Chain A
């Protein structure tokens, strides 16, 4: 089991692509230029023909989406703070942080590891994708994800549309009961197109590209923001040494991750799998011994 957790930063299953392997790609989401327009949310839904998510007024700033789930693969978070944008702007200020969240396409991806059917797989682009023709909706990946990204679709949740007259034939045709999440537009990548959200993003807050290039760009960006005195700037999940081996989709944040609803220091659960299997083996053995013990100590009847 240790093989998948060697801190090589190379996702398991990726090398196996051999000649079919492409450069690992991902997203660098730079929240310092995000204008919170939600074009990414809509672009994603338009491309992937995701059912509408229902209408809830959340009274949480301009966020009425709430979270990433089976019907939302890009989610823009809005955080209003009484904090200056620049560290040197004095104590008072107002800032409105916006961040487009997405599946992290982890180097060590718990959802992928735990998937019992091979529906989730590591693609030739190094991304993590659910194969909708394979998934049987066991739901194991849902609690395995340390970011709460992947989610099982329950079409009932989309029935509160108010009106639901004839949807265009190809909308709503998708079946429920399976899990869904960002595919990093696997089909588009195969056709040589960039993912829909990155393509739409008006300010290029969402940048798509080979991961090593993105990381370099992010490092420069962080330096620039530091020079400009931005408050709280940090790269999140950029480092291959972190608990998930670095993300394929990483972020430049302007405050701590938990403020955006992100775990501050996630570790892929399967990092402990060896330990857990060993533990289980011992417990199983103990069980057998215990049962036999019932006969040994106290007689056969």
Chain B
């Protein structure tokens, strides 16, 4: 994204002396009825042509705040593939365009200076993170699940009741995720016989 910062100044120097004088606020003070130089006479070109960056967005996406469960509407402004601003969606009957400090900070959440963009891998007994490609990580995780499950499968409980499960794998999290994501998690875990699926509902 760009900010209209002093790009105008260059143009101004390119102008002739007459133009320069013409635009000299002292001249404008006298000419434009602002003798004290407190108002329009001293307005810079940048100030004159200032536009809010939400008006320069390529598209605006209706979204929902990711924090608490009030579910406030958000408008996400995008330019050049980057979020330029997030603010409340006035159309929402839930929030009427308002947001709390967390919701208002959602752009900074998505663009946090601490945001991680790469897979990090710590091998057993390792002392630091290592790089790992996403594909390799997925492959390794899939294999871990298969192996752990195979090694710890319970057809029946100790007293002979049906179990059809592994108690060696758990999955935690969901309250910050989408319904569709939770649906896939529970479906996949149920298919795999993983029953220890839990989320923040208890905390």
Please give the residue numbers on chain A whose beta carbons come within 8 Å of chain B beta carbons, in ascending order. Answer: 3-4, 12-18, 20, 37-39, 41-43, 46-47, 112-113, 118-119, 121-124, 129, 131-134, 163-168, 170, 173, 185-188, 190-191, 193, 196, 199-202
Other CB < 8 Å A-B pairs besides A47-B85, A200-B98, 16 of them?
Answer: A13-B38, A16-B34, A16-B39, A17-B40, A18-B40, A118-B37, A118-B41, A123-B39, A131-B43, A133-B46, A165-B114, A170-B1, A185-B52, A190-B52, A193-B52, A200-B104
Other-chain residue from B9, B52, B113 in contact with A187 (beta carbon distance below 8 A)? B52
Output the residue of B32, B38, B46, B103 with the most chain A CB within 10 A.
Answer: B38
B23 in contact (CB, < 8 A): no
Closest 4 pairs between A and B when the two form their complex, measured CB to CB? A13-B39, A118-B42, A13-B38, A16-B34
A190 to chain B, nearest CB (A): 6
Contacts of B193 in A (CB 8 A): none
Contacts of A13 in B (CB 8 A): 34, 36-40
- Given A122-B38, A196-B87, A199-B87, A46–B50 Cβ distance below 8 Å? no
Judge whether A46 and B44 touch: CB under 8 Å: no
Output the residue of A38, A46, A113, A134 with the most chain B CB within 10 A.
Answer: A46
Binary per-residue interface labels of chain B (68-97) against chain A in the complex, 1 for a CB within 8 Å, 0 otherwise? 000000000000000001111000000001
A36 to chain B, nearest CB (A): 10
A22 to chain B, nearest CB (A): 12
Contacts of B100 in A (CB 8 A): 37, 39, 200, 202
A8 to chain B, nearest CB (A): 14
Q: How far is the CA of A15 from the CA of B50 in the complex (A)?
A: 21
Output the residue of B32, B98, B111 with the most chain A CB within 10 A.
Answer: B98
For B38, the closest partner residue in chain A by CB is A13
Contacts of B47 in A (CB 8 A): 121, 123, 129, 131, 133, 186
For A47, the closest partner residue in chain B by CB is B85
A72 to chain B, nearest CB (A): 13
Judge whether A199 and B108 touch: CB under 8 Å: no
- Given A16-B32, A168-B113, A187-B50, A41–B40 Cβ distance below 8 Å? no
Other-chain residue from B34, B52, B113 in contact with A188 (beta carbon distance below 8 A)? B52
B195 in contact (CB, < 8 A): no
Q: How far is the CA of A189 from the CA of B3 in the complex (A)?
A: 17
Other-chain residue from A20, A43, A113, A121 in contact with B87 (beta carbon distance below 8 A)? A43
Judge whether B104 and A167 touch: CB under 8 Å: no
Instruction: Give 18 pairs: A residue, B residue, CB < 8 Å, sorted on A.
Output: A3-B36, A12-B39, A16-B32, A43-B87, A113-B38, A118-B37, A121-B40, A121-B42, A124-B40, A131-B44, A133-B8, A133-B9, A134-B44, A164-B113, A166-B113, A170-B3, A185-B52, A200-B99
Judge whether A38 and B114 touch: CB under 8 Å: no
Other-chain residue from B1, B9, B50, B98 in contact with A199 (beta carbon distance below 8 A)? B98
Judge whether B98 and A202 touch: CB under 8 Å: yes
Contacts of B54 in A (CB 8 A): 188, 191, 193
For A203, the closest partner residue in chain B by CB is B98
For A172, the closest partner residue in chain B by CB is B113
Q: How far is the CA of A201 from the CA of B101 in the complex (A)?
A: 9
B5 in contact (CB, < 8 A): yes
Contacts of B9 in A (CB 8 A): 133
Binary per-residue interface labels of chain B (21-57) against chain A in the complex, 1 for a CB within 8 Å, 0 otherwise? 0000100000011101111111110110011111100
